[in-house]
Amino acid sequence: MKAKSFARAALTSALLIAGGAVWAQNVKITPLGSHAGELCDRDRATIFEDPTGVRILYDAGHSVTGGDDPRLGDVHMVLLSHAHGDHMGDRKMKALEAGSCEKPETISAAPHSTTAEIAAAKNAAIMMVSPMGAFIARKIQNITGKPTGNCPEKGGALNVPFAASCQANAQLGGMRILKAPGATAGVEVTIVPASHDSTVSRELLTDPQKAALAVDNTSLYLGPPSGYVIKFTNGLTVYLSGDTGIHAEMKTVVGDFHKVNLALLNLGSSAISGYSATYAMNELIKPAAVIATHVNEGATSGGKLKPTSRTAAFIKLVKRPVHLAISGRTMEFDGKANCVAGCN
C-alpha cells in the first residue's frame, strides 16, 4: 500500500468512528497455495495484514510464481523460518494451478529463490536469523544491483513502506516493530526457536560452492532454524511454528511468555507426528485456535477435507478450532483469535 492509500485508509477509519460505525479491527490471513480453494502438498506462503495496513509474507516457498505473483499485493516484510528449499523457494510454480494438488508443477527458481525475488520486487524488509539473512540480502543485491542495507529505524520502529529492500535481520529472540504511517501502535515480530535443520538447497549456491560440497556430500548451514511470534495491533498474537519437532520452548517461550492465541502449525510428518503436534497444541501452547498448514499431502478435494488424510486425523484430536489454510481464502481474526470471516 502506498502512502496515499494509507492516508485514505486512516481517513476512512476516522470517518467510520466519527459516524459511530464499528471499525473492524481484524487481522486478515491469506494462504497463497498452489491450487485455489484447496490445501495442497507444497502450500507454504501466507500473507498477514494488520488492521493498520502492515503486510507480512511468511515463507514464500514453492507455491508462488515468484516476484510477479499477482496474488501478493503489497509486502512490507518477508519472513523465512529456515533455509530448506520448500521455504526459501529454490523452485516456484510453473503457473498458478499447474500440476495437481498432490503434485504441483514447479520450475527452478535458481539462482535467486522466491524469497529474494519477492523481497526485491516489493521493496520489502527481510527479517530472519542473521546468517540466512546475509545470504538472502546478497541474492536481493544480485537482482537489484544495489547493496541491501539495514532498514531505517525511527523511534524504535521500522516505518513502512520502505524505499528499497532492506535488512531487519536478528538472532533468535530478536524483535522488530513495524509501523504504518499515522498508526499509533506497531506490529511486533519476534524470532523464536525451532527444532529442525537449516541447510540450503545446493541449487541456490554458486558453482564453486556446489562443487566443494558435492565432493563430501555435505550441506551448508545458514544458522539455526526458527519460528516467529507476531503480535498484531488488535491483540491477536500468532505463533508461526516453522518446521519443527516438539520442543520445550513451545511451552516456556511461545505459550507462557508470549501467550499466543493463534498457532499456524506446520504438520509435515518428517518433523512432527500427529500425536506430538496434538500434544503441543493441547498441553504446551494451548492457543485459542489453530491453522493447519505445510501438510505435505493434498488434504482437500473440492475444498473439503479428505476424511482419510493425516490432517483430518490431527484435527480430530485437537481440542480447539482448527482452520485449514485454504489457498486464496482470506480468514479474518479478532484480537482473541475468533475467526470472524472466511473460515469453515
Window of 132-140, 164-172, 241-249, 310-318 that interacts with Zn ion by CB under 5 A: 241-249
With respect to Zn ion, which residue has the nearer C-beta, 38 or 243?
243
**Given candidates 243, 260, 264, 311, which one binds Zn ion under the rule CB under 5 A?**
243
Pairing of strands 77-79, 55-58: parallel
Residue 186: closest CA among 335, 52, 73, 55: 52
Nearer to Zn ion, 69 or 243 (CB): 243
42 vs 323 by CB, closer to Zn ion: 42
Is residue 292 a contact partner of residue 325, using CB atoms and an 8 Å limit?
A: yes
Q: Which residues in the 21-80 window bind Zn ion by CB under 5 A? A: none
Does an H or E element contain 232, and which?
A: none
DSSP state of 230: E
49, 50, 86, 90: which one binds Zn ion (CB under 5 A): 86
* Least Å from the CB of residue 31 to Zn ion: 15
Binding region for Zn ion (CB under 5 A) out of 72-80, 86-94, 128-136, 153-161: 86-94
Q: What CA–CA distance (Å, rounded) separates 64 from 58?
A: 12
Nearest Cα neighbor of 158 from 183, 178, 181 is 178
Total number of residues binding Zn ion (CB under 5 A)? 3
Residue nearer to Zn ion on the CB measure, 49 or 249: 249
Q: Which of 35, 62, 84, 231 binds Zn ion (CB under 5 A)?
A: 84
- For Zn ion, the closer of residues 84 and 231 by Cβ is 84
Q: Which residues of 4-42 are buried (b: 16+ CB within 10 A; e: fewer)?
A: eebeebbeebeeeeeeeeeeebbbbbbbbbbbeebbbbb
Contacts to Zn ion by CB under 5 A = 84, 86, 243
